[in-house]
Structure 1
Amino acid sequence: MWELRADLLSSTSPAFVSQQISLLRANSELPILFTVRTVSQGGKFPDEMAVEALELLQLAVEAGCDYVDVETSWPVEAVDKLRQNKADTILVASWTDPTGAIRLEDAVLQEKYIQAEKIGDIVMLSILATTEYDSHELALFLRDHRQKHHKPLIAMGLGTHGQLSRVVSPVSFITHALLPGAGAPGQMSLAQIQQSMHLLGQLPARNFFIFGNNIAHSLSPTLHNTAFTELGLPHHYSIHETFAVDEGVREIMSRPDFGGASVTFPHKLQIGQFLQTESAVARLIGAVNTVLVRTGKDGSRQLVGDNTDWLGIKSCIEVNWPDGGTVTARAAIVIGAGGASRAACYAVQQLGVKTLYMINRTRAKAEALAEDFPALTFVHYSSFAEFPAAGADPAPSIIVGCVPADDFVEEDIPSAMFAAVENGVLVEMAYRPLETALMKRGKRFNGWKITRGVDVLKEQAYHQFHMWTGRRAPKRVMAQAVDAKVG
């Protein structure tokens, strides 16, 4: 989640703070923890402006912030008002000692806990750690709390000596290189936290792979190893090139340190023989491009097949949709009826498209595909030449190319595919060349956004990364690394 530290903002006027909440809401789906700390509480807000600080807390509650930090030192009547008006907001009752004078065994700490427990839905205690032993004491404090109390407790040590507590705590407050400074003494970055967790044995290293044939120049290692490094994860992603899904692949997936895999041509259909189960989406699309390691309810290890190709296509359409709004396409064109086109059909179906124009030589393959997507009304054309010169009705505003780039030249592609709508999105699945005939034709129509095969690769990789690690992919650095490689 985001912690919005109002006392560290360049302005603490209600209008400015309200604007910051709105900006976070507009640009992120993450929940918000709203915090105001006075100087005596270890923050920057003037102690003599307690009334103004409480007004900001009330503003946060009224703005619907998911969590609001309430220091136990605030006046009881003000805190009671917040509790009465909080609606769905969760109150985090906190007590902070930035002086280093309070020890864990002191009776005052227990008193502060009892006071906070009466106020908040969650209790948070922060003390300045003065020796390396304080973090160990905090860990024991948390363990004892879980045995005796029912409310969640966050307990951490401030300062350098408290950094270990930030690593082993179930909840950690982190800083980021883009911030002007840490929000509290001893705050670490996410990468530092995860590197430390690995050294402590809490985050074992895992090996990830891409399985396929003729994949020596795959960009997937660049994507995922960049992400692992950025987030401080101890994992590694490698190429395993093999002509078929053989015993070597099975042996790799049986290793204890196997974390997951990407699967590419021609193994997406063969990999299923070594999996325990497949997702409903992978079964519908008829291909597995992602292998996940999951633990069953009985503790057993399961290899699960999934598909992120459709998510890559869907994300490319959403990211490039005109004006950044919700996709409103009524019709789409899919070129080809192979495995990639099945992912394309599912992607546009999930976006609410009703009519799908399929351009494919073999009618039988198109009809077989149509049977699996009854929510789509299929219209089949056996070649570009059959596409109506006046354009189709409803007009397509999405085009997905799912055939090799050398299957046709630019002159084969009718302008009517693009001309019927002012704005649209073209998704090219082919990687090479970097500009295909389909892309060249689309670029002649200024309202159309063009995405490359490498863009689909990036978008689906973001979803793979999240499935494997439970972490949101660091998209910016992943994209930069790949773009630097492909030019």
Structure 2
Amino acid sequence: MRDQFYVIGQPIGHSMSPTMHNEWFESNNLSGHYSAKEVGITDLESVIGEFRSTVKGFNVTAPLKVEIMKFLDVIDPLAKNIGAVNTVINQDGLLYGKNTDGIGYCRGLSMVLKNPIEQENILIIGAGGAARAILYSLLHLGVKHISITNRTLENAHELLDGKLFNDVKVISISDAEENLENYSLIIQTTSLGMKPNEDQVPLSLHNLSSKTIVSDLIYSPFKTAFLKEAEKRNAIIQNGLPMFIYQGALAFQEWTGIFPNTIDAYKILETKLGGTKC
């Protein structure tokens, strides 16, 4: 019988994780099978009890990434700092939680970065869970210059949990817009650009430098209004598909010991999304 793996969350029917992971199981001649399972917060405890004896590992998506932590036996230090888990490894009934979102994002950046990531001067737009995962992963990797901006500055300050990081500044949207040309990498983590807000952008790119990399975590639509505007200004752009693929690849490696072919996965999912590489 094949080893069972899942992604759980609510809603979950739109997930492309099964397509990606099952391709990796097949291409690596492994007997695993990956499925999507609709699980809400009220169902989580009973599902985890079942998974302890039936699955080898699973991914966790919204709205369960924080709630899942109370049901795990061991949580990786980076995941603790992020305050969320997206990958669980089952070792003989003991559940180990990790977060591959932020590190997966950083690995995906390798497709467009020209310099080591720790040398970048980075602006993060947004203050939600994705921003938090990326912030703590960047700090983990030794990045020295990070600014965070958000419509509500209080939420941006909350990302730091009251800790003082000499390398992290919280700035207003207007300050970010005014100094945009100073950043070598801009990371857009909000939901602006997704339905029903496809035409909205989080800030003006009027002062954007053509040398800047502009990254948007959204991959559907394949190219957001924010990325289209950055492209008009000759910036290097990247959508959220590499992050999605690399966070999944790191989870797959945790479960199997094999880092899968991310290039083929990109081609498959790019076609499925009807996009062109960006």
TM-score range, shorter chain: 0.7 to 0.9
TM-score, structure 2 normalization: 0.87
1:271 and 2:61 equivalent?
no
Asked if structure 1 preserves the Cα contact closer than 8 Å seen for 2:125 and 2:148, the reply is yes
- Name the counterpart of 1:340: 130
Alpha-carbon offset, residue 442 of structure 1: 1.7
State the identity as a percent.
28
- Name the counterpart of 2:241: 454
Please give the secondary structure, in 2, of the residue aligned with 1:215: coil
Alpha-carbon distance in 2 for matches of 1:357, 1:475 = 30
Among candidates 206, 225, 229, match of residue 3 of structure 2: 206
- Name the counterpart of 1:314: 106
- Name the counterpart of 2:47: 249
Unaligned 5+ runs, structure 1 = 1-203, 296-300
1:365 and 2:163 equivalent?
no
Work out which structure has the larger RCO, using CA pairs closer than 8 Å and 6 or more positions apart in sequence.
Answer: 2
Alpha-carbon distance in 1 for matches of 2:232, 2:94 = 49
Please give the secondary structure, in 2, of the residue aligned with 1:343: helix
Counterpart mapping for 1:347-362 below 5 A: 347-362=137-152
Counterpart mapping for 1:8-407 below 5 A: 205-244=2-41, 245-255=43-53, 257-294=54-91, 301-322=93-114, 325-327=115-117, 329-370=119-160, 371-372=162-163, 374-381=165-172, 383=173, 385-389=174-178, 391=179, 395-406=182-193
Query: Residue type of the partner of 2:37?
Result: H
Q: CA offsets per residue over residues 328-369 of structure 1, 9 Å max, x none?
A: 534211111111001121233244432322221222222222
Please give the secondary structure, in 2, of the residue aligned with 1:262: strand
Please give the secondary structure, in 2, of the residue aligned with 1:318: helix
Distance 1:375 1:278, change over 3 A: farther
TM-score, structure 1 normalization: 0.51
Alpha-carbon offset, residue 302 of structure 1: 1.2
Asked if structure 2 preserves the Cα contact closer than 8 Å seen for 1:268 and 1:287, the reply is yes
Q: CA offsets per residue over residues 397-445 of structure 1, 9 Å max, x none?
A: 11111110246724942322x22xx423222112332221221122123
Alpha-carbon distance in 1 for matches of 2:219, 2:107 = 17
Worse-superposed segment, 350-359 or 464-473: 350-359
Distance 1:472 1:253, change over 3 A: same
Asked if structure 1 preserves the Cα contact closer than 8 Å seen for 2:103 and 2:134, the reply is no
Asked if structure 2 preserves the Cα contact closer than 8 Å seen for 1:317 and 1:425, the reply is no
Asked if structure 1 preserves the Cα contact closer than 8 Å seen for 2:127 and 2:155, the reply is yes
Unaligned 5+ runs, structure 2 = none
- Name the counterpart of 1:478: 265
Alpha-carbon distance in 2 for matches of 1:274, 1:208 = 18
Q: CA offsets per residue over residues 445-479 of structure 1, 9 Å max, x none?
A: 32x33221222101111111111100121223322
Query: Residue type of the partner of 1:336?
Result: G
Among candidates 414, 426, 449, match of residue 205 of structure 2: 414
1:433 and 2:221 equivalent?
yes
Alpha-carbon distance in 2 for matches of 1:329, 1:433 = 30
Alpha-carbon distance in 2 for matches of 1:316, 1:260 = 23
Asked if structure 2 preserves the Cα contact closer than 8 Å seen for 1:321 and 1:424, the reply is no
Asked if structure 1 preserves the Cα contact closer than 8 Å seen for 2:146 and 2:167, the reply is yes
Query: Residue type of the partner of 2:79?
Result: A
Alpha-carbon distance in 1 for matches of 2:168, 2:39 = 39
Distance 1:424 1:350, change over 3 A: farther
Alpha-carbon offset, residue 286 of structure 1: 0.7
- Name the counterpart of 2:231: 443
Distance 1:444 1:241, change over 3 A: same
Alpha-carbon distance in 1 for matches of 2:4, 2:188 = 33
Alpha-carbon distance in 2 for matches of 1:259, 1:326 = 35
- Superposed CA RMSD: 2.3
Larger Rg: 1
Alpha-carbon distance in 2 for matches of 1:339, 1:412 = 19
Q: Across the two proteins, how many residue pairs are aligned to each other?
A: 268
